[in-house]
Amino acid sequence: MTNDKPVDHHDTHEDVLVHTEGRAAYLTLNRPKALNALSHPMVLRIGEALTAWADDPAVEAVVLRGAGERGLCAGGDIRAIHEDARTGGTASAGFWRDEYRLNALIARYPKPYVALMDGIVMGGGVGVSAHGSVRVVTERSRVAMPETGIGFVPDVGGTYLLALAPGELGTHLALTGAPVGAADALLCGLADHFVPSSALPALARELAADPVHAVLERHVEEAPAGSLAAAREWIDHCYAADTAEEIVARLRAAGVPAAEAAADTLTAKSPTAVKVTLAALRRARRLGPLEKVLEQEYRVSCAALASHDLVEGIRAQVIDKDRDPRWAPAALEDVTPADVDRYFAPLDAHELRLVAAASSQEVVW
């Protein structure tokens, strides 16, 4: 996040400010009152800009940042998804289709893509940043995929990223939705560099004049200590269990306060979402490239749109804010294998197909 104002042409009324300066192009998510939550038009605008810059010899690097002081991006527009799910609409499916295409585009972008992951970076915010080639976190960073708390499942390539984290760290983060700071984001492969938040304005400014590696050399520091490295023993043991029920049992039996707290957190989430998330992560490990995982996530997200728990979870956490969701089924043991399998059923003519683009060197949008 920086408060730098673009010095080039831009429309200050837009939710994504797009401008170029020197050798760099800048994307500023500009909905600070909504914590820069992504809308469908924002996704399309980012994709169009990236596609144009990919072939522009004047643009040597792209910088993504968020307006305001609270975060890069808190995710998608949850209220819009709630209304769509409640009324049986299809707008969210269309949004996800373009959002996941954008995630794949960022992951294969042919130029340095510098994501300034300051403050809150959650859900869709992870999707537009953590697939980039240069991911910068600060002492204020809080990176999370909190979807199980609203009856949803990590998407935007989140199951791909978390499946690649060391040991079972990704499983822990995906099931509990726990946020991580800079050091733990680095450990989990969600970020590359630590830079103090006070240095971000200078870093962003200098990228207009100097190569990315030279600017990073001036600003990168060692991140303050995290907590996950010391917890690897119990995390790797507990989350390696075959089922969600066994994971909870192992957490309860670990004799570690943090493991007990993780069990409490996990069992407060949507039981269906927890089981589907576990299955999605383990399938992601076998699927291969990001595009394959995004295609799977699209199936899962579309199935969630028709579920009770997504509507109920958003109601409890965002709409009514009573923090008392009534999940159905209400317990992990009541979620059957058939309930889980339904989320992975093919969508036939409605499938998201990205793999063809993955085999090409061209940027496809």
Residue type, 58: A
The two structure tokens encoding residue 322: 């009573």
Identify the band that residue 3 occupies on the pLDDT scale cut at 50, 70 and 90: very low
Parallel, antiparallel or unpaired: strands 16-21 and 24-29: antiparallel
> Dmax of the chain from CA atoms?
60
Residue tagged active-site, from 68, 76, 157, 170: 76
The predicted pLDDT at position 1 comes to 45
Q: Which of 2-11, 249-258, 346-355 has the lowest mean pLDDT?
A: 2-11
Contact status, residue 276 vs residue 337, Cβ threshold 8 Å: no
Place of tokens 């579920």: 307
Residue tagged active-site, from 77, 84, 99, 147: 147
Could you report the per-residue pLDDT of 141-190, keeping only the tens digit for each? 999 999 999 999 999 999 999 999 999 999 999 999 999 999 999 999 99
How far, CA to CA in Å, does 11 sit from each of 30, 46, 281? 11, 14, 40
Residue 62, φ and ψ in degrees, nearest 5: -115, 140
Give yes or no: 155 in active site: yes
Give yes or no: 313 in active site: no
Burial of 204 (0-12, 13-18, 19+ CB in 10 A): buried
How far, CA to CA in Å, does 346 sit from each of 154, 296, 321, 343? 18, 9, 34, 9
Give yes or no: 147 in active site: yes
Residue tagged active-site, from 124, 132, 149, 157: 124
Could you report the per-residue pLDDT of 250-271, keeping only the tens digit for each? 999 999 999 999 999 999 999 9
The predicted pLDDT at position 8 comes to 39
The predicted pLDDT at position 364 comes to 53
Give yes or no: 158 in active site: no
Mean pLDDT of the chain: 94
How far apart CA 207 and CA 218 sit, in angstroms, is: 11
How far, CA to CA in Å, does 43 sit from each of 3, 24, 343, 357, 359? 22, 20, 25, 18, 23
How far apart CA 315 and CA 325 sit, in angstroms, is: 8
pTM for the whole structure? 0.93
CA distance between the termini of the chain? 26
What order do you get walking across the sheet with 120-122 strand by strand? 71-73, 120-122, 142-144
What order do you get walking across the sheet with 16-21 strand by strand? 16-21, 24-29, 61-66, 113-117, 134-137, 193-194
Contact status, residue 308 vs residue 147, Cβ threshold 8 Å: no
pLDDT beyond 50 at 2: no
